């Protein structure tokens, strides 16, 4: 089995300072050793019908489920989660073991 992936897709509420949310996510990734990698992005042109209002994606990689569990229970994550959850209008979460079909070059 490969790495464990944590995928979060969100639509922020009107008036949310998205840069603050991004800073918080980056801080989590840097402070919590269990996070192997962190990527994020903002949709740049999908048709509204296809993205259904979702605007941002956050993607974290963990070496295994134990590291992911450590991340979830880490005090920094617990604290930020309360801030993050009130800022989102819609959210999708997926946690899955990676199946690599083609490794990065």
Distance CA 57, CA 38 (A): 11
Domain parsing of the chain, residue ranges: 4-44+62-97
Q: With CA atoms as reference, report the closest residue to 2 among 78, 99, 102.
A: 99
Write out pLDDT tens, residues 13-72.
999 999 999 999 999 999 999 999 999 999 888 777 677 889 999 999 999 999 999 999
Report pTM.
0.87
Distance CA 2, CA 99 (A): 6
* Residue 100, both tokens: 């690599």
Sort residue 52 into left (φ over 0), alpha (ψ -120 to 50) or beta.
Answer: left
Q: Which CATH number fits domain 4-44+62-97: 3.40.50.2020, 3.40.1800.10, 3.30.70.100, 3.40.50.300?
A: 3.30.70.100
Query: How many C-beta neighbours within 10 Å does residue 32 have?
Result: 18
């Amino acid at each position: 089995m490969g790495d464990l992936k944590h995928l979060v897709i969100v639509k922020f509420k009107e008036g949310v300072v998205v840069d603050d949310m991004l800073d918080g996510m980056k801080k989590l990734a840097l402070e919590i050793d269990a996070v192997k990698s962190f990527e994020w992005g903002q949709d740049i042109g999908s048709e509204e019908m296809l993205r259904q209002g979702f605007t941002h994606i956050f993607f974290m990689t963990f070496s295994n489920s134990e590291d992911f569990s450590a991340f979830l229970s880490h005090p920094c994550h617990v604290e930020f989660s309360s801030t993050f959850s009130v800022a989102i209008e819609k959210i999708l979460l997926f946690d899955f073991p990676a199946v690599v079909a083609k490794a990065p070059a």
